[in-house]
Amino acid sequence: MRHRRSRGHLRPEGDEQHVRDRDIQELGDIGSLVFREVPTTDQTTKIVNRPDAGPLAVAIARAVEESEGFSARWHSDRRAVLLGAVLGAYLSLSALSDPSGSHPDVLLAATSGAVAGALGASASAFVLRNIEQIPPDDYLAMGDG
């Protein structure tokens, strides 16, 4: 199945237990703010302070919010951070989800995937810009120095 909307990336097919509908809606609101280049602090606070917010939603919201600080330093794209977090969580949930619920570590893996995806997406843009400043043969050389 090809996903054309962020909702499909926030909940793998058949997985209703790890990401709640309200979490999806509020993360969608964060996505809308990010793509419009509007600060996400109020929406992140809303998710983080909601007692029934899922840990995965909190991790994704915080990753996006905290990227505000390093996006200025690394010149990273907050959209890439958001997409990296969502896709990292999606891939983890897709790979590890079990309809019987026999894998209690799925949520931890998905949360870790979200954070790793956000950092990877952000850092890769920074690294690629640095690589572009040197000849490709120099970068790809496997020798010392």
Nearest of 32, 52, 56, 54 to residue 43 by alpha carbon: 32
Give residue-wise pLDDT tens across range 66-79. 887 665 566 668 88
Residue 48 has pLDDT above 70, yes or no: yes
| Rounded distance between C-alpha atoms, residue 126 and residue 74, angstroms | 6
Is the distance from CB of 23 to CB of 57 less than 8 angstroms?
A: yes
Can you give the length of the chain in residues? 145
> What percent of the chain lies above the pLDDT cut of 90?
12
Is the distance from CB of 18 to CB of 56 less than 8 angstroms?
A: yes
Provide mean pLDDT across the span 8-34.
74
Return the pLDDT at 106.
65
Residue 95 has pLDDT above 70, yes or no: no
Question: Which residue shows structure tokens 């949930």?
Answer: 93
Return the pLDDT at 12.
52
| Rounded distance between C-alpha atoms, residue 40 and residue 74, angstroms | 19
pLDDT, averaged across the chain: 75
Residue 90 has pLDDT above 50, yes or no: yes
Is the distance from CB of 31 to CB of 82 less than 8 angstroms?
A: yes
